[in-house]
Chains A and B, each alone.
Chain A
Amino acid sequence: MKKSDKIYEELRKKYTDEEIVEGFVFNESLSPSEQKEVDEEFRKIRLERLKNMTDQERLVANLLRLKYQIKMYLESGDYSEEYNFSNLLRRYIEVTQRNNKEIADDLSIHPTKLSRVLHGRENPNVELMYRLEKHSSEEIPAYYWWRLYSRELENSIRTE
């Protein structure tokens, strides 16, 4: 009997199938040849799917990538220069595939002001953070930007 069948039978003594699904995830045991076949089949489907992703799907996924990287950074409590406001704004612009002029227009700010913020020569204000939230269709909330900036400030106060 396969290992996964033994596990399943053991769990079935106590739980219904629905309860097993609510409380466990475990792998089906396969023979090496079955596993090879399953892996090959999956890999083919996965690579095909990746190849056929639309630009819109990639854009949304990249925005969510940035969002969850910021979220996990904020939850970590650590400080990293990589996550300074200006660096993250630069990454946001890359993700949206807009150039600096276009993003300045979108955010209704002067390109010079955007450039100064990107180069750390001018501090971002709360209004810019709200505009960024709106620009991301509210995926990246204004308070994420605020917390990134305040962590940077905190580090600066601590170290200078």
Chain B
Amino acid sequence: MPFLEDKKSGEPLKSAIEEVVESDYLKVKESGQFFFNWKEEKKNEVYKIYLVGRDKEILGMMSLIDRPDEYRIHLNLIEIRENQQGKNKTIEKIAGCLIAFACQLAFARGYFGFVSLKPKSKLIDLYQDKYGFRQYGRLLGVEQNLSYALIKKYLGDEKE
């Protein structure tokens, strides 16, 4: 289960990540909270994250491309809703939970936990610092222990 946190109290918030359904694209568009056109991602695997037991308001979206030929999952797009961005946010770790979920899928599919992204050059250092990504040519990636560490940090450990 994703380990979202209330920014003010630090309390954990019960949340879930699921594959989107058709009606979610309209919901996202009509919310006016998302900058990207998520309908363009329909050809990929798209997931949403939301708080359990509330109104299922979508907090963030993630589009993945499966690359079995290279044993990896590519993070094509992640976006957190506007009122949970920057100084406005009341919930922490939303993007981290989505990335960790992609890592979990990458282990389950036999890709050794490999997840890649291709960020703007200017942001590379920040993704490396924030999530522990390493450089693989022009792409960034996490795998094995680093990927597992992200899962433990953001999705929790079953022993807890």
The size class of the interface chain A forms with chain B is 35 or more
Pair B138/A61 contact, Cβ less than 8 Å: no
Which of B24-32, B48-56, B115-123 is near enough to bind chain A? Answer: B115-123
Contact B70 A26 (CB under 8 A): no
Per-residue interface assignment for chain B, residues 76 to 88, with 1 indicating a CB less than 8 Å from any chain A CB and 0 otherwise: 1111100011110
> Which B residues lie within 8 Å of A68 (CB)?
104-105, 107-108
Partner of B95, one of A7, A17, A22, A144: A22
Q: Which residue of A lies closest to B147 (CB)?
A: A64
Quick one: CB contact mask for B104-145 with A, threshold 8 Å, 1 for yes?
Answer: 110111101110111111110011001000001111000110
Per-residue CB contact flags for chain A residues 56-81 toward chain B (1 = under 8 Å, else 0) read: 01101110110111011000000000
Q: Considering the complex, which residues of chain B in the window 66-109 have a beta carbon less than 8 Å from any beta carbon of chain A?
A: 70-72, 75-80, 84-87, 94-95, 99, 104-105, 107-109
Dominant secondary structure at the B interface: mixed
- List of A residues within 8 angstroms of B78 by Cβ: 24-26
B117 and A25 within 8 A (CB): yes
**Nearest Cβ distance between residue A103 and chain B, in whole angstroms?**
22
Give the B-binding residues of A (Cβ under 8 A).
Answer: 4-5, 7-8, 10-11, 14-28, 38, 41-47, 49-50, 53, 57-58, 60-62, 64-65, 67-69, 71-72, 138, 141, 143-144
Chain B residues with a Cβ closer than 8 Å to the other chain, count: 47
Q: Is the CB of B121 within 8 A of A41?
A: no
Complex CA distance for A20 and B122, rounded to whole angstroms: 11
B108 touches A65 (CB 8 A): yes
Q: Are B70 and A65 in contact (CB under 8 A)?
A: no
Known A-B contacts A57-B112, A65-B108, A68-B104; the reply to A21 vs B126 at CB < 8 A is: yes
Let me know if B158 and A69 touch, CB within 8 A.
Answer: no
- The smallest beta-carbon distance between B120 and chain A, in angstroms, is 5
The answer to whether B159 has its CB under 8 Å from any CB of chain A is: yes
